[in-house]
């Protein structure tokens, strides 16, 4: 098996006295699409946010392409907290799409997309604009290039946010409940875009979702979180149709009932 | 003198001094306000402490006394300056303290998701501030900054008390020589209003331009 692109080693997270993640080991292979499911408060969002460095890790390590994300080795080979340069270097492999889009409201759609390539990656503005437009075309919003986010529907906003993340060419793309904030009739267009990225993409995906059908369709693997642990982890057919643990059975049953 | 002659006679040096004092003090206040507001949000406790002292001292004492202190007391310690410099310094420092609070709260009221999106796109903290947070915070701050500018402009009338020949000073001189008190101070009110009103409108137009179709 190839080297995993992401590797969690005994990752633990506390918010003050509250333990959210409990010594989690986890790997993502290059190009692998992994869906995270589980009840709210089970730790799946925190798990993903640690990879994006939006929360501080309490204990354990995360490696991305064999390099520590939160740590660096000192002269003696001991782990120490990483410098901000090191963090940014390793973090550049990761991208994220948020539940609430978080587009930059003061910029047009195209500016939203090319801002980070130009400012952060130092890419040529012409090249970035071309790449940005290609990406907008891919999510079907080329005609909205000069619109402001406030003029878009929720589904369109999320598609722009996806284009914005993709143009950075991340090796791992995190989707944090990308359709949970959308009106039901807008969910489909976003899922379609995510699916097309998954189908063509070399990028690995970490997809936090409550859309079980979608998870089954897109993911190579599903991990079920409960109480800060990964309770079950396997191919979608096993997880959804042949759950082993009581907790997953309960979760799926409750889930089916609310559908 | 007729009402018009009074107004015209104040339009020269007096108006010029009032406007120059306002512009220079406003620039100083804005620079200090942004520097102070950003430092107030620093992770370094010492930096935050220094700014807190500055803000509390200048907010907690009267502008007039600060003006007198800088112009009349500092020379006792060997620091002398022109009346205009003293005026700009006192007003700039005073309004800078208030402005730093406007800047701090403006930055803090930008949605936290904007910071998270910037981290996810790998911005450095400085890039994030400059490109993402401050442009949005500025629009939030604008009504308050506009109010402060008007307040600052009106407060320049105090500089007459340290011998600067601004609008108010000229009115006082004119009053002493003609004793047409009603006309002179009415003319003074009108002049201040005629400057303040376009400022208010200007800020409103700027605000509308910056938010049109966006927020």
- Per-residue pLDDT of A211-238, as tens digits, reads 888 999 999 999 999 999 999 999 999 9
Predicted confidence (pLDDT) per residue in B24-80, tens digit: 999 999 999 999 999 999 989 999 999 999 999 999 999 999 999 999 999 999 999
Distance CA A5, CA A27 (A): 8
Q: Name the A residues in 125-154 with CB < 8 Å from any B CB.
A: 148-151
CA–CA gap between residue B92 and residue B58 (Å, rounded) = 10
Put simply, the answer to whether A106 touches B139 (Cβ < 8 Å) is: yes
CB contact under 8 A, A53 and B135: no
Nearest Cα to Cα of residue A133 among A121, A141, A125, A122: A141
CA distance B48 to chain A (A): 22
In this prediction the ipTM stands at 0.92
Q: Is the pLDDT of residue A57 over 90?
A: yes
Mutate one of A116, A160, A206 to test the B interface: name it (highest B CB count within 10 A). Answer: A116
In this model, does residue A185 exceed pLDDT 70?
yes
Partner residues linked to A108 by β-bridges: none
Cα A197 from Cα A140, distance rounded (Å):
13
Taking the alpha carbons at both ends of chain B, their separation in whole angstroms is 53
Both tokens assigned to A211:
């859309």
Of all residues in chain A, the percent with pLDDT exceeding 70 is 99
Chain A interface test: which of B116, B117, B142 (most A C-beta within 10 Å): B117
Q: Closest-CA residue in chain A for B136?
A: A106
Q: How far is A234 from chain B (nearest CA, A)?
A: 28
* DSSP tag of A65: T
The predicted model scores a pTM of 0.87
CATH class of B3-211: mainly alpha
Q: Which domains does chain A have, with CATH numbers?
A: 6-93+172-258 (3.40.50.300), 102-169 (no CATH)
Rounded Cα gap, residues A259 and A239, in angstroms: 18
Domain residue spans of chain B: 3-211
């Amino acid at each position: 098996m190839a080297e995993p692109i992401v590797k969690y080693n005994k990752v633990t997270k506390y918010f003050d006295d509250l333990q959210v993640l409990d010594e989690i080991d986890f790997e993502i292979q290059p190009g692998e699409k992994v869906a995270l499911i589980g009840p709210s408060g089970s730790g799946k969002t925190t798990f993903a946010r640690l990879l994006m460095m939006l929360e501080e890790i309490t204990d354990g390590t995360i490696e991305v392409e064999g390099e520590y994300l939160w740590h660096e080795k000192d002269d003696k080979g001991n782990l120490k907290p990483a410098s901000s340069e090191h963090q940014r270097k390793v973090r550049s492999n990761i991208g994220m799409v948020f539940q609430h889009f978080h587009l930059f409201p003061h910029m047009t759609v195209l500016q939203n997309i090319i801002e980070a390539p130009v400012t952060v990656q130092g890419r040529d503005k012409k090249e970035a604009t071309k790449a940005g437009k290609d990406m907008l075309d891919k999510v079907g919003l080329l005609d909205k290039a000069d619109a402001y986010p406030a003029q878009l529907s929720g589904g369109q906003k999320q598609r722009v946010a996806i284009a914005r993340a993709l143009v950075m060419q991340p090796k791992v793309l995190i989707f944090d409940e990308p359709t949970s904030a959308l009106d039901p009739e807008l969910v489909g267009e976003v899922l379609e875009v995510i699916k097309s990225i998954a189908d063509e993409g070399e990028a690995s995906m970490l997809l936090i979702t409550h859309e079980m059908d979608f998870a089954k369709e897109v993911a190579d693997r599903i991990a079920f979180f409960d109480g800060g642990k990964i309770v079950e982890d396997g191919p979608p057919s096993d997880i959804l149709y042949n759950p082993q643990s009581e907790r997953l059975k309960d979760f799926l049953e409750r889930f089916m009932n609310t559908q | 003198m007729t009402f018009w002659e009074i107004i015209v006679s104040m339009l020269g040096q007096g108006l010029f001094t009032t406007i120059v004092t306002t512009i220079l003090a406003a620039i100083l206040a804005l620079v200090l306000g942004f520097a102070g507001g950003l430092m107030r949000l620093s992770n370094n406790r010492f930096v935050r402490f220094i700014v807190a002292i500055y803000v509390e001292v200048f907010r907690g004492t009267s502008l007039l006394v600060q003006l007198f202190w800088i112009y009349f007391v500092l020379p006792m310690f060997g620091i002398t300056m022109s009346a205009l410099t003293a005026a700009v310094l006192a007003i700039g420092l005073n309004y800078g303290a208030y402005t730093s609070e406007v800047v701090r709260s403006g930055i803090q009221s930008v949605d936290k998701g904007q910071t998270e999106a910037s981290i996810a796109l790998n911005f450095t903290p400085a890039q994030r501030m400059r490109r993402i947070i401050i442009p949005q915070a500025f629009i939030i701050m604008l009504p308050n900054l506009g109010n402060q500018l008007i307040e600052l402009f009106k407060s320049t009338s105090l500089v007459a008390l340290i011998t600067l020949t601004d609008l108010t000073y000229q009115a006082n001189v004119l009053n002493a020589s003609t004793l047409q008190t009603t006309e002179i101070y009415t003319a003074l009110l009108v002049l201040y209003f005629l400057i303040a009103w376009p400022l208010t409108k200007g800020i409103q137009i700027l605000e509308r331009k910056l938010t049109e179709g966006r927020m």
